A and B are shown apart, each in its own frame.
Chain A
Amino acid sequence: MSEPVLTISGLNVDYGTGTDAVHALRDIDLTLHRGEVLGLAGESGSGKSTLAYAVTRLLSPPGVITGGEVHYHRRDGQALDLLALSAPELRAFRWQELSIVFQGAMNSLNPVHTVHSQLTDVLQAHRPEMKKSERTARAEELLRLVGISADRLGAYPHQLSGGMRQRVMIAMALALEPEIVIMDEPTTALDVVMQRQILRQLVKLREELGFSVVFITHDISLLIEFSDRIAIMYGGRIVEEAGAADIYRDPRHPYSDGLLHSFPALHGPRRELSGIPGSPPHLSAMPAGCAFHPRCAKKVEACDSHVPVLAAPDGSDGSRSVACWLHRGAPAPAVARS
């Protein structure tokens, strides 16, 4: 595996402070390697978007990062502690090294500015040496890159279709050729045909430009198709992390197994759709022990009292990890596959 570009260790995030605080993220350890596509999956409220925004410190109030570290690794080997940056340093880091394609491009573009203005202001902020004509040329180039004709540059967001707006957001994310692009449900609001089209384009662009991707979605079948590795989140923790193929063929956590059976696979053999009984827990009323145990069909004695640690399952080679008592300590029966 290649060198890491982003390492997250022991990250904790609360909403609110003091006695009213709820824990949104607990002890997140995650590494993004250079050039890979890392998928983040989980139901609404599992903390996947919170994780993406916490890394860049974009969480809105009352979000507070209460512990842990996030390091960005430059190509020259220097590490940058993102949680220790001052506001000007953070501003310089943002978009230059790490950009985001936000979910819901409807509200992500400012309705009163043209596409041109929203594409070039980022160039103006980070590349002050560029001339006005150069910025415009770059904006045209970016639009062509995502398959939009350059004459749409003068358009306002309300004059574009949903798919075009999302492409503009992607073009914007690539404006400075960052090392990392976080994609937060980039295609959720679009129809399936448009989804595929945009994702294919993303894959192509990634091969050309070589950036790393954190791909967030609740649609795990998309992740299996487009990502190299997948981390599955539940109740503010990562419960399983493994290669996409491993997750697909051999999910170890019962929750991963359930998620896989909640979405129809687009390729490969048909699976039975079953879904997961119950609903995700509230952040403020998290069950003791493994947060998933009230919904888990395979729970054992330790589950409702002890939090399982994310680690390599017993008897594996260390290329994957899971937080489940079924794979810890005493040999447990393998998770049934369908």
Chain B
Amino acid sequence: MKFLLQRLAFYLVTAWAAITINFLIPRMMPGDPVQSLMARFQGQLDTNAIASLQALFGIDKDQSIWQQYTDYWGHLLDGDLGLSFTFFPTPVSEVIAQSLPWTLALVGITTLISFVLGTGIGVFTGWRRGSWMDSLLPVTTFISAIPYFWLGLIAISLFAVKWPLFPAAGGYDNALVPAFDWPFISSTLYHGALPGLTIVLSAVAGWILGMRNMMVTVSSEDYVMVAQAKGLSERRVMFGYAARNAILPNISGFALSLGFIVGGTLLVEMVFSYPGIGYQLFQGVGAKDYPLMQGVFLIITLSVLAANLLADVLYMVLDPRTRREA
């Protein structure tokens, strides 16, 4: 339990650091692109909106940094991330609330699939080092070196343009009203298939390589040799000794890689015009919609932190060394 509390404290510190970085970025940058944008919308903003934008970006130069910082926190804790310029006058928090479920589902499911699949294949290739499976490695290496978004482009040009098997864009059929019924869910699955496959194909190669290397490393540990000397079955040595220990670093890697994976999936969303926060982020980038960009960044960071905490719980279950004796 102590381990978990320590981790929790750490994530709170990290969240604080991320929020503070988010606070500092617009203030540290040269020039004042925000002010010009503010001027553009001046007539349309009510006083509340102006106050929140000021808190987020520090337009008011008369305030001390500390005062700006406390105001910033005040607005954040109210869930106020400012107004989106792109979807003016929708609040950023509303834009994110609409798109976050799409991203969580797409990233969550595809990441889980690629982790399980890649780790499984990695166990075998690492154990049977030097066998024919090693010849698969250059292929996986090649795939892992392809940017997610380019693979998405290829997938669209092949399976949406050349052979129109899948839709090229969107998260569901626009003729449908979002609801928890079969036509809508099947439509989301159909639209999610191509981006999902793109992400799995891109991500799985990395897991294979990572797990293979861990297997190779662990295979030379003394306890694996002891297990062989004990005459245990190949299965027991491979899974109970080698893979069981090799997966530990891969689990910490799982959560930590989420940051990278999310980066890649954001681009897949963009290429497929998938209605997640990645797509929103790119619309924000195009329109210089700073409140939206910063809000998206904050939410992505907090989600990754939450995923890290989940992985820590799993790690604690799997590694007895993290459990302190009572």
Q: Give the interface of A toward B (CB within 8 A).
A: 56, 58, 60, 87, 90-96, 99-100, 102, 104, 107-114, 121-122, 125-126, 156, 158-159, 172
Contacts and interface: CB of A to CB of B under 8 A. Distances in A.
Given A111-B320, A112-B320, A58 B228 contact: yes
B240 A121 contact: yes
A107 B232 contact: no
B321 A108 contact: no
B238 to A, nearest CB: 13
Contacts of B232: 91, 121-122, 125
Nearest to B242: A110
9 contacts: A58-B225, A58-B228, A102-B226, A107-B223, A110-B245, A111-B319, A111-B321, A112-B245, A113-B240
Contacts of A95: 229-231
Given A107-B221, A111-B245, A94 B230 contact: yes
Contacts of B245: 110-112
Contacts of A122: 230-232
B320 A156 contact: yes
B233 A91 contact: yes
Given A113-B240, A121-B236, A108 B231 contact: no
A110 B241 contact: yes
Contacts of B325: 159
A213 to B, nearest CB: 16
A interface SS class: mixed
Given A107-B221, A158-B320, A92 B231 contact: yes
Contacts of B223: 107-111
B126 to A, nearest CB: 14
Nearest to A100: B229
Given A109-B223, A121-B232, 19 more contacts: A58-B225, A60-B225, A91-B231, A94-B228, A94-B230, A95-B229, A95-B231, A96-B231, A99-B229, A99-B230, A100-B226, A107-B221, A110-B241, A111-B320, A111-B321, A112-B318, A113-B240, A114-B320, A159-B325
Interface of B: 220-223, 225-234, 236, 240-241, 244-245, 248, 318-321, 325
Given A95-B230, A159-B325, A102 B225 contact: yes
B236 A125 contact: yes
Nearest to B220: A60
A156 B233 contact: no
A286 B319 CA distance: 46
Contacts of A60: 220, 225
B248 A112 contact: yes
A112 B223 CA distance: 11
Nearest to B318: A112
Given A111-B320, A112-B245, A126 B231 contact: yes
A172 B318 CA distance: 24
A57 to B, nearest CB: 9
B interface SS class: helix
Most A CB atoms within 10 A — which of B223, B226, B233, B240? B226
A229 to B, nearest CB: 24
A96 B234 CA distance: 16
B66 to A, nearest CB: 46
Nearest to B223: A110
A52 B320 CA distance: 32
A114 B244 CA distance: 13
Nearest to B319: A112
Contact of B229 (A56, A87, A112, A114): A56
B128 to A, nearest CB: 13
> Which are the 5 A-B pairs with shortest beta-carbon distances?
A94-B231, A107-B222, A110-B223, A91-B231, A156-B320
Contacts of B229: 56, 58, 94-95, 99-100, 102
A104 B230 contact: no
Contacts of A91: 231-234
Nearest to A96: B231
A111 B222 CA distance: 11
A96 B232 CA distance: 11
Contacts of B320: 111-112, 114, 156, 158
Contacts of B226: 100, 102, 108-110
Nearest to B320: A156
Contacts of B319: 111-112
Given A60-B220, A102-B226, A107-B223, A93 B231 contact: yes
A87 B232 CA distance: 11
A245 B318 CA distance: 52
Nearest to B130: A61
Contacts of A90: 231
B71 to A, nearest CB: 49
A323 B323 CA distance: 55
A87 B66 CA distance: 71
A91 B231 CA distance: 4
A110 B325 CA distance: 18
Nearest to B245: A112
A109 B225 CA distance: 10
Nearest to A107: B222
A100 to B, nearest CB: 5
Contacts of A107: 221-223
Nearest to A106: B222
A99 B236 CA distance: 18
Nearest to B244: A112
